[in-house]
Amino acid sequence: MKNNNMAPPVYGVIAAFAAVYVIWGSTYLGIRYAVESIPPFLMAGTRNLAAGLLLFAFARVRGGGTPSRIEWRDAAVTGGLLLTVGNGGVSYAEQVVPSGVTALLAALVPLWMVLFDWLRPHGVRPRPLVAVGLLVGFTGVALLARGPGNHSGPIHGWGVWVVMASSMSWALGSIFGRGAHKPASPLLGVAMQMIAGGGLLLGLAFARGEASQFSFERVTLLSAGAWLYLIVAGSLVGYTCYVWLLHATTPARVATYAYVNPFIAVLLGCTIGRETFSQVLLVAGALVILAVALIVRGGVRQAPATAPSEEVG
């Protein structure tokens, strides 16, 4: 008789963690390259819709049932908060904000989740360790907001605020998703969110006139390659590994992506992406990663791991 309680293979867990750490950390640089010649909301919309449709077909072939109307409704709300505002905002902001700085700002999703969880009716008061993490995190954000941006120019203030709003929206979407109606198949649920969020992003792109601004002749090979990478690696491989890890190990261990992804993103941005590296970025980055570690460890029993900020990247 087959034992359904067998532990997952160690090498499989290690490979899945490596994929989530490296791939999701690299998506910020991928977004920066993609929006160089593709309008941001059009890029994010087509990317998420394409990935969602592929993942939806895969999940249905593997036995996922037919989603109900209420499941589609909740997927639209969750996808709108996570992907339309969260991922779309990051794509828009990376026109002026370096990918490494964006990743550090977006990494503070756990901070906003703790605050929103506290401020809601009958909310959960942060523990002392989490409160310290909040203070450290806000200090890191203040440093990032006044640090250098792409090349030698300053970060555009609006770009920083857009990333902040995106991470707040991702936190709200994560909180809403806890109690949302979802299909039994986790992959099917993720696909529905991608389809809904991608559709809303395309609607926003058309409303802003991005379709008329787009031209295949202007799309560089680098942007096209980055767009494909975001679909295949960032959305399909990354999300699949993440969902599998939630069942293969503990949420607390999976949540470690929250402070590994920013490190990977800054490393890639300052090497391959040739973004400015400064003492301010080093100190602010260390503060943000420390803050996320404190919040995740101090509030581990308050909230499960959530889909990352890439995808606020």
Q: Sign of torsion, CA 16 19 22 28?
A: negative
Output the CA torsion 130→91→150→107 (10° steps): 10
pLDDT on residue 150:
44
Give me the residue spans of the domains in the chain.
Answer: 10-298
Q: Angle at CA 305, nearest 5°, toward 172 and 118?
A: 45
Q: What is the pLDDT of residue 269?
A: 94
Q: How many CB atoms lie within 10 A of CB 213?
A: 12
Nearest of 291, 309, 311 to residue 111 by alpha carbon: 291
Nearest Cα residue to 164 out of 96, 81, 93: 93
DSSP H stretches of helix in the chain = 10-34, 40-61, 69-79, 88-93, 99-106, 109-119, 128-145, 157-178, 186-207, 210-213, 221-229, 238-248, 251-254, 257-271, 279-298
What pLDDT is attached to residue 1? 45
Integer-rounded Cα Rg, in Å, for the chain is 19
Query: Position 80: which residue type?
Result: G
Q: DSSP H helical segments within 179-237, as ranges?
A: 186-207, 210-213, 221-229
Give the CA angle between residues 177, 7, 307 to the nearest 5°. 20
The contacts of residue 120 (CB under 8 Å, 6+ apart) are none
* CA 219 – CA 231 distance, rounded (Å): 17
Phi, psi of 134 (to 5 degrees): -60, -45
Distance between CA atoms of residues 189 and 147, nearest Å: 39
Please state the pTM of the whole predicted model: 0.87
Coil, helix or strand for 277? Answer: coil
Q: What is the pLDDT of residue 6?
A: 62
Query: Residue 7 carries which DSSP code?
Result: P
pLDDT string in tens for the chain (313-residue length): 444 556 678 888 999 999 999 999 999 999 999 999 999 999 999 999 999 999 999 999 998 889 999 999 999 999 999 999 999 999 999 999 999 999 998 888 888 888 888 888 877 788 888 889 889 988 988 888 765 544 344 456 788 889 999 999 999 998 898 889 999 998 899 999 999 999 999 999 999 999 999 999 999 999 999 999 999 999 899 888 887 887 788 777 787 787 788 889 999 999 999 998 888 888 988 998 898 888 877 764 444 455 555 557 7
